[in-house]
């Protein structure tokens, strides 16, 4: 066993998008920073989250759209699915992206550089408030001393306590990974998914479109239970129409089976059901990676969900220790998403190293679920606005009211707008529809600058675009939106 001692301005636990943003900011500030990484450089997003999922989801959409052309006059076509080849191209994309956006930024070889961005591979544990010990895969030990510390260890799938699960082989979203043995390289003929959140729905629809028989089990009354009910009810209809089995109000009681055959006993609306599939995917929730990293040795406090408690400056209760990204869960109304972590990683580093005293602002975080059609939201739901005592009014319209949706024969979905009364300030927008993930940025910018429904109405929108959905739903508060001529307000 070897031991070395290094001293840095900032030690960062993790090397995901949050950590990289912090390391880059530290370098810009002329400070020395080091990241640590127990798995693959770049963290969840690039290796087993956003990038691989969006790559394969798009391939699945091509397969589905070819088989289900929306236009009379186009003959359905069957695209063959070579799943191992799709996985291989996905891995290639991951490696290229990781090299370009992560590995190439790390440079420990330039001797002229006084503060290169560095990574120490291995499991990092705090041994005291200023010291991190990293155990590498060959068992060697490296001790890092930091003036400031940033916890950016991200999150991992939360495995529910279900009888029999621990003795049954199951998949998690880690199936998307590369270079790690959890990667799924063969297409299962059938799949049971536990969970009805965004990962369950994105991956469930993807597998179904590749040809797997998919059954989704959701504990609550509806999927996406924290979203507007109009959105989740419309989405469940769309997914069921595609042939995905979705059982809501379902409690999984017992799981058993082996690598290629899993059995589930569940109570569905009070009735016991026996289900069987080739594979099981557990996609319930994600939990912050805060156990086994020695936070207790520094006295860093966690909330009931195990997330690191931070203030508006991303400072923990220990003045020189900061936290950002998935590891802070929903503290300060944060969300587990890559751009949130990347944004906040930079802020945490500036606050830690340059005393900028900049608070985070999580009031406007646009978010997309990459089902087809997409779900995109920003701001408050009707229920959230009411819970905050904001007097509000809401309208929901079907996307069949949007000229572009009709023109391209894709009218699936709805849009809902929440206005504060009597100011008509827009406090929330939720959309289910084609390109919703792009459209939501107009709404996000509007929320950022306190726009009213009238601002959406007065803005000339490109015709015909899906963004007109925002203008039409705004008009619907005052007029019968079904009686509008083209582009009229």
Ligand X SMILES: Cc1cc2nc3c(=O)[nH]c(=O)nc-3n(C[C@H](O)[C@H](O)[C@H](O)COP(=O)(O)OP(=O)(O)OC[C@H]3O[C@@H](n4cnc5c(N)ncnc54)[C@H](O)[C@@H]3O)c2cc1C
Backbone angles phi, psi at 181, to 5 degrees: -75, -5
What residue ranges bind ligand X (CB under 6 A)? 13-19, 36-39, 43-45, 49-50, 53-54, 123-124, 152-155, 173, 176, 199, 289, 293, 325-326, 336-339, 341, 370
Q: Which is nearer to ligand X, 86 or 397 (CB)?
A: 86
Distance CA 158, CA 176 (A): 16
CB of 223 to ligand X, least distance (A): 16
Q: Does the N-terminal peptide bond of residue 251 adopt cis geometry, omega within 30 degrees of 0?
A: no
The tokens 């370098």 sit on which residue? 27
CB of 334 to ligand X, least distance (A): 10
CB of 238 to ligand X, least distance (A): 19
Q: Which is nearer to ligand X, 45 or 349 (CB)?
A: 45
Distance CA 234, CA 131 (A): 52
The DSSP element (H or E) to which 453 belongs, if any, is helix 453-458
Dihedral sign from CA coordinates of 177, 178, 184, 187: positive
Q: Which is nearer to ligand X, 173 or 215 (CB)?
A: 173
Distance CA 14, CA 155 (A): 11
CA angle (334 as vertex; 333, 335 as ends), nearest 5: 120
CB of 289 to ligand X, least distance (A): 4
The DSSP element (H or E) to which 454 belongs, if any, is helix 453-458
Distance CA 378, CA 399 (A): 18
CB of 395 to ligand X, least distance (A): 28
Contact 453, 444 (CB under 8 A): no
CB of 169 to ligand X, least distance (A): 19
* Helix, coil or strand: residue 141: strand
Contact 42, 35 (CB under 8 A): no
CB of 481 to ligand X, least distance (A): 31
CB of 392 to ligand X, least distance (A): 27
Q: Which is nearer to ligand X, 21 or 426 (CB)?
A: 21
Q: How many CB atoms lie within 10 A of CB 386?
A: 14
- β-pairing, 374-379 vs 367-369, is antiparallel
Q: Which ranges of 102-183 does DSSP label H, i.e. alpha helix?
A: none
Distance CA 52, CA 43 (A): 12
Q: Which is nearer to ligand X, 132 or 162 (CB)?
A: 132
Q: Which is nearer to ligand X, 43 or 196 (CB)?
A: 43
Q: Which is nearer to ligand X, 291 or 423 (CB)?
A: 291
CB of 283 to ligand X, least distance (A): 8
Q: Which is nearer to ligand X, 123 or 253 (CB)?
A: 123
CB of 270 to ligand X, least distance (A): 32
CB < 8 Å & 24+ apart, contacts of 306-312 = 307/331, 308/151, 312/359, 312/360
Q: What is the CA radius of gyration of the chain?
A: 24
CB of 260 to ligand X, least distance (A): 23
Q: Which is nearer to ligand X, 74 or 182 (CB)?
A: 182
Q: Which is nearer to ligand X, 293 or 470 (CB)?
A: 293
Q: C-alpha distances in angstroms, 2 versus 89, 105, 108, 140? A: 39, 27, 20, 5
Q: Which is nearer to ligand X, 55 or 410 (CB)?
A: 55
Distance CA 84, CA 90 (A): 10
């Amino acid at each position: 066993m070897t031991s070395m001692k290094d001293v840095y301005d900032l030690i960062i636990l993790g090397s995901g998008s949050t950590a990289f943003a912090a390391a880059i900011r530290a370098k810009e500030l002329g400070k020395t920073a080091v990241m640590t990484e127990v798995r693959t450089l770049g963290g969840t997003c690039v290796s087993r989250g956003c990038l691989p999922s969006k790559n394969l989801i798009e391939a699945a959409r091509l397969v589905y759209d070819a088989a289900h052309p929306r236009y009379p006059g186009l003959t359905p076509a069957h695209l063959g699915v070579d799943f191992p080849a799709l996985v291989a191209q996905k891995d290639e994309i991951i490696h290229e992206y990781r090299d370009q956006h992560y590995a190439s930024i790390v440079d420990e070889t330039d001797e002229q550089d006084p503060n290169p961005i560095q990574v120490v591979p291995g499991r990092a544990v705090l041994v005291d408030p200023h010291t991190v010990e990293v155990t590498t895969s060959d068992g060697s030990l490296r001790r890092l001393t930091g003036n400031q510390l940033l916890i950016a260890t991200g999150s991992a799938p939360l495995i529910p306590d279900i009888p029999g699960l621990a003795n049954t082989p199951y998949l998690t979203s880690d199936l998307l990974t590369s270079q790690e043995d959890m990667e799924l390289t063969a297409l299962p003929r059938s799949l049971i998914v536990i969970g009805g959140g965004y990962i369950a729905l994105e991956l469930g629809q993807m597998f179904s479109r590749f040809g797997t028989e998919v059954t989704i089990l959701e504990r609550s009354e509806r999927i996406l239970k924290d979203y507007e009910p109009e959105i989740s009810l419309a989405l469940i209809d769309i997914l069921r129409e595609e042939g995905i089995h979705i059982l809501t109000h379902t409690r999984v009681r017992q799981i058993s089976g082996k690598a290629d055959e899993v059995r589930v006993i569940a109570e569905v609306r009070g009735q016991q059901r026996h289900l069987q599939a080739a594979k099981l995917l557990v996609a319930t929730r994600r939990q912050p990676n805060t156990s086994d990293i020695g936070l207790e040795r520094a006295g860093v406090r966690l909330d009931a969900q195990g997330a690191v408690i931070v203030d508006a400056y991303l400072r923990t209760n220990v003045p020189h220790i900061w936290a950002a990204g998935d590891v802070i869960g929903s503290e300060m109304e944060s969300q587990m998403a890559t751009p949130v972590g990347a944004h906040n990683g930079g802020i945490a580093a500036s606050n830690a190293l340059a005393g900028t005293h900049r608070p985070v602002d999580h009031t406007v975080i646009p978010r997309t679920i990459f089902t087809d059609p997409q779900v995109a939201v920003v701001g408050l739901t009707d229920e959230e606005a009411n819970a905050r005592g904001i007097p509000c009014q809401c309208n929901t319209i079907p996307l069949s009211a949007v000229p572009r949706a009709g023109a391209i024969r894709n009218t699936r979905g709805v849009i809902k707008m929440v206005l504060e009364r009597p100011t008509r300030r827009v406090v929330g927008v939720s959309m289910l529809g084609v390109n919703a993930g792009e459209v939501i940025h107009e709404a996000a910018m509007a929320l950022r600058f306190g726009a009213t429904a009238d601002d959406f109405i007065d803005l000339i929108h490109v015709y015909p675009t899906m963004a007109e959905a925002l203008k039409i739903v705004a008009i619907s508060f005052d007029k019968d939106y079904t009686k509008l001529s083209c582009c009229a307000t």
